[in-house]
Amino acid sequence: MCAHVLVAEDDEKQAELIRRSLLAEGHTATVVHDGAAALDAARGLRPDLVVLDLMLPVVDGFEVCRELRGGADPEIPVVMLTARSAEDDVLLGLGLGADDYMTKPYSPRELMARIRTVLRRSGRGPGGRDGDPAVRVAGISVDPVRHEVRCDGVPVDCTPAEFQILLAMAAEPERVFTRRQLLQCTRGFDRASTERAVDVHIMNLRRKIETDPRRPARLLTVFGVGYKLSGPRP
């Protein structure tokens, strides 16, 4: 079962390990490093499952879970991760609606097994729920489950690195991403990439989604900062 998983983990090394493990399982993954970003991504992407660290900055994992359960998709599966093993924390996490709970340190293989079990139990993933998982903005549709991109209804061929960059930007239209942030999206797909190589990915994407790549109307440069995907959601 291929699914789109949102990973909310403030430890970048742990987040990368989880992301690579998910990719090896055939899933797609979006990674964020604080609770506010987790809530924004969950609302925009409607992932099939959330891997949620409890000790997140800005908004902690308990509050993220509480907000998810009271949001537009209250049945979204949540697997909690934490270094806190006290029984009260476990009970609180489960009481808020977490579907499973793992204490650090943990085996990535065990985490993947837990994710498979939760996805199977919840019926999430391709064919497992109603609704369209695609993210749409500015005439662009990015489907993280089918790994498809369409621009004004026309299929667009993207490299894996280009797809991950476009997915991240489509999930948060008008947000300005630095080159470093976009570079993180390509990890595991483009190991030799540098921050300057992000400019090449952006240039290639513009050729594919802009009417006039020299005068982009969607994928804009914010001088001195980075790039953003501009345009209304449908």
Q: Kindly report, residue by residue over 65-98, the tens digit of the pLDDT.
A: 999 988 767 888 999 988 766 666 667 777 888 8
According to the model, what pLDDT value does residue 122 have? 76
| 138 Ramachandran zone, left/alpha/beta (phi>0; psi -120 to 50) | left
Q: How far is CA 11 from CA 8, 69, 109, 139, in A?
A: 9, 24, 18, 35
Rounded-to-integer distance, Cα 118 and Cα 70, Å: 20
Q: What angle do CA 31, 174, 38 make, to 5 degrees?
A: 25
The pTM score is 0.58
According to the model, what pLDDT value does residue 83 have? 76
Rounded-to-integer distance, Cα 176 and Cα 196, Å: 16
Say which residue, 232 or 137, is predicted with more confidence: 137
pLDDT range class, residue 133, cuts 50, 70, 90: low
- For the stretch 149-199, pLDDT in tens is 999 999 999 988 888 889 888 877 888 888 888 887 776 555 556 778 889
